[in-house]
Protein backbone atom coordinates (compact mmCIF):
# COMPACT_ATOMS: atom_id res chain seq x y z
CA UNK A 1 0.00 0.00 0.00
CA UNK A 2 1.34 3.42 -0.93
CA UNK A 3 1.73 5.69 2.05
CA UNK A 4 1.38 9.34 1.16
CA UNK A 5 2.67 12.05 3.47
CA UNK A 6 2.50 15.83 3.54
CA UNK A 7 5.51 17.72 4.86
CA UNK A 8 5.34 21.20 6.37
CA UNK A 9 8.28 23.59 6.79
CA UNK A 10 6.81 25.81 9.50
CA UNK A 11 7.54 29.53 9.56
CA UNK A 12 5.93 32.62 11.01
CA UNK A 13 5.37 34.26 7.58
CA UNK A 14 5.39 31.30 5.21
CA UNK A 15 4.86 27.55 5.53
CA UNK A 16 6.31 25.36 2.83
CA UNK A 17 4.36 22.26 1.85
CA UNK A 18 5.59 19.11 0.10
CA UNK A 19 4.19 15.68 -0.72
CA UNK A 20 6.08 12.42 -0.54
CA UNK A 21 5.51 8.69 -0.43
CA UNK A 22 7.20 5.66 1.04
CA UNK A 23 7.63 3.54 -2.11
CA UNK A 24 10.35 5.77 -3.55
CA UNK A 25 11.24 7.68 -0.39
CA UNK A 26 11.06 10.86 -2.43
CA UNK A 27 9.17 14.11 -1.97
CA UNK A 28 8.38 17.10 -4.14
CA UNK A 29 7.42 20.64 -3.37
CA UNK A 30 3.75 21.58 -3.56
CA UNK A 31 3.22 25.16 -2.48
CA UNK A 32 3.94 27.89 0.04
CA UNK A 33 1.16 28.99 2.38
CA UNK A 34 1.17 32.49 3.78
CA UNK A 35 0.99 32.72 7.55
CA UNK A 36 0.17 35.54 9.96
CA UNK A 37 2.50 35.23 12.96
CA UNK A 38 2.71 31.50 12.35
CA UNK A 39 -1.01 30.94 11.80
CA UNK A 40 -1.90 29.64 8.33
CA UNK A 41 -5.17 29.98 6.49
CA UNK A 42 -6.63 26.75 7.88
CA UNK A 43 -9.06 26.50 4.95
CA UNK A 44 -6.09 26.19 2.58
CA UNK A 45 -4.50 23.56 4.82
CA UNK A 46 -7.78 21.66 4.87
CA UNK A 47 -8.03 21.87 1.07
CA UNK A 48 -4.56 20.30 0.81
CA UNK A 49 -5.52 17.54 3.26
CA UNK A 50 -8.70 16.79 1.29
CA UNK A 51 -6.92 16.86 -2.07
CA UNK A 52 -3.95 14.67 -1.12
CA UNK A 53 -5.56 12.54 1.64
CA UNK A 54 -2.24 11.83 3.37
CA UNK A 55 -1.75 8.92 5.72
CA UNK A 56 0.44 11.07 7.95
CA UNK A 57 2.01 14.52 8.24
CA UNK A 58 5.61 15.50 8.97
CA UNK A 59 6.41 18.91 10.42
CA UNK A 60 9.96 20.24 10.43
CA UNK A 61 11.38 20.86 13.89
CA UNK A 62 13.79 23.82 13.79
CA UNK A 63 16.32 22.91 16.46
CA UNK A 64 19.42 24.96 17.22
CA UNK A 65 22.68 23.69 15.73
CA UNK A 66 23.63 22.12 19.08
CA UNK A 67 20.33 20.17 19.09
CA UNK A 68 18.69 22.32 21.74
CA UNK A 69 15.14 23.56 21.42
CA UNK A 70 14.21 27.11 20.45
CA UNK A 71 11.12 29.28 20.49
CA UNK A 72 10.57 28.31 16.86
CA UNK A 73 10.75 24.60 17.67
CA UNK A 74 8.09 25.14 20.35
CA UNK A 75 5.91 26.96 17.83
CA UNK A 76 6.43 24.22 15.21
CA UNK A 77 5.39 21.57 17.74
CA UNK A 78 2.27 23.59 18.58
CA UNK A 79 1.50 23.75 14.84
CA UNK A 80 2.00 19.96 14.65
CA UNK A 81 -0.42 19.41 17.56
CA UNK A 82 -3.00 21.64 15.87
CA UNK A 83 -2.70 19.65 12.63
CA UNK A 84 -3.23 16.44 14.60
CA UNK A 85 -6.20 17.89 16.49
CA UNK A 86 -7.90 19.34 13.42
CA UNK A 87 -7.41 16.46 10.98
CA UNK A 88 -6.97 13.43 13.27
CA UNK A 89 -3.92 12.27 11.33
CA UNK A 90 -0.63 11.00 12.75
CA UNK A 91 1.77 13.95 12.88
CA UNK A 92 5.51 13.44 13.22
CA UNK A 93 8.21 16.04 13.73
CA UNK A 94 11.60 15.82 12.07
CA UNK A 95 14.84 17.68 12.78
CA UNK A 96 15.08 20.15 9.94
CA UNK A 97 18.46 21.70 10.73
CA UNK A 98 20.11 22.94 7.55
CA UNK A 99 17.20 22.08 5.20
CA UNK A 100 16.53 25.77 4.45
CA UNK A 101 20.26 26.34 3.95
CA UNK A 102 20.38 23.33 1.61
CA UNK A 103 17.27 24.54 -0.23
CA UNK A 104 18.85 27.97 -0.76
CA UNK A 105 21.91 26.24 -2.18
CA UNK A 106 19.69 24.31 -4.62
CA UNK A 107 17.94 27.53 -5.65
CA UNK A 108 21.23 29.37 -6.06
CA UNK A 109 22.60 26.61 -8.29
CA UNK A 110 19.33 26.54 -10.26
CA UNK A 111 19.34 30.33 -10.56
CA UNK A 112 22.87 30.35 -11.90
CA UNK A 113 21.93 27.67 -14.40
CA UNK A 114 18.52 29.06 -15.39
CA UNK A 115 19.23 32.77 -14.93
CA UNK A 116 16.70 33.31 -12.14
CA UNK A 117 16.48 32.74 -8.41
CA UNK A 118 13.10 34.14 -7.40
CA UNK A 119 11.19 31.09 -6.14
CA UNK A 120 10.80 30.80 -2.36
CA UNK A 121 12.73 27.98 -0.72
CA UNK A 122 10.06 27.00 1.84
CA UNK A 123 8.39 24.27 -0.23
CA UNK A 124 11.77 22.85 -1.28
CA UNK A 125 12.84 22.85 2.38
CA UNK A 126 9.61 20.95 3.17
CA UNK A 127 10.48 18.37 0.49
CA UNK A 128 14.01 17.98 1.88
CA UNK A 129 12.82 17.50 5.46
CA UNK A 130 10.16 15.04 4.31
CA UNK A 131 12.77 13.04 2.38
CA UNK A 132 14.94 13.05 5.51
CA UNK A 133 12.07 11.63 7.56
CA UNK A 134 11.31 9.03 4.89
CA UNK A 135 14.97 7.95 4.84
CA UNK A 136 14.89 7.44 8.62
CA UNK A 137 11.47 5.70 8.63
CA UNK A 138 11.21 3.65 5.42
CA UNK A 139 8.49 1.34 6.78
CA UNK A 140 7.15 3.52 9.61
CA UNK A 141 3.54 2.62 10.47
CA UNK A 142 1.03 5.45 10.49
- pLDDT at position 105 is 59
Determine the Cα–Cα distance for residues 57 and 8; give it in Å rounded to an integer: 8
Structural domain includes residue 27? yes
* pLDDT tens-place string over residues 23-59: 889 999 999 999 999 999 999 999 999 999 999 999 9
* Helices (H), ranges, 5-98: 42-52, 71-87
Are 89 and 49 a contacting pair, CB within 8 Å? yes
Q: What is the domain extent for residue 49?
A: 4-136
Number of domains comprising the chain: 1
- pLDDT at position 99 is 62
Q: What is the pTM of this model?
A: 0.83
Has residue 73 got a pLDDT over 80?
A: yes
- pLDDT at position 113 is 45
* pLDDT tens-place string over residues 87-112: 999 999 998 876 655 555 555 555 54
* pLDDT tens-place string over residues 111-128: 544 444 445 688 888 999
Structural domain includes residue 142? no
Structural domain includes residue 61? yes
Structural domain includes residue 64? yes
Query: Domain holding 132: CATH number?
Result: 3.30.420.140
Average pLDDT value over all residues in the chain = 85
Structural domain includes residue 141? no
- pLDDT at position 122 is 86
Determine the Cα–Cα distance for residues 37 and 39; give it in Å rounded to an integer: 6
Amino acid sequence: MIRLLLGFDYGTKQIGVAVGQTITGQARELCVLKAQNGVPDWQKVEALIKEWQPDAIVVGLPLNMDGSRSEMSERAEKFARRLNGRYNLPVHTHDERLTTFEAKGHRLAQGQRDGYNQRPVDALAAALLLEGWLAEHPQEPA
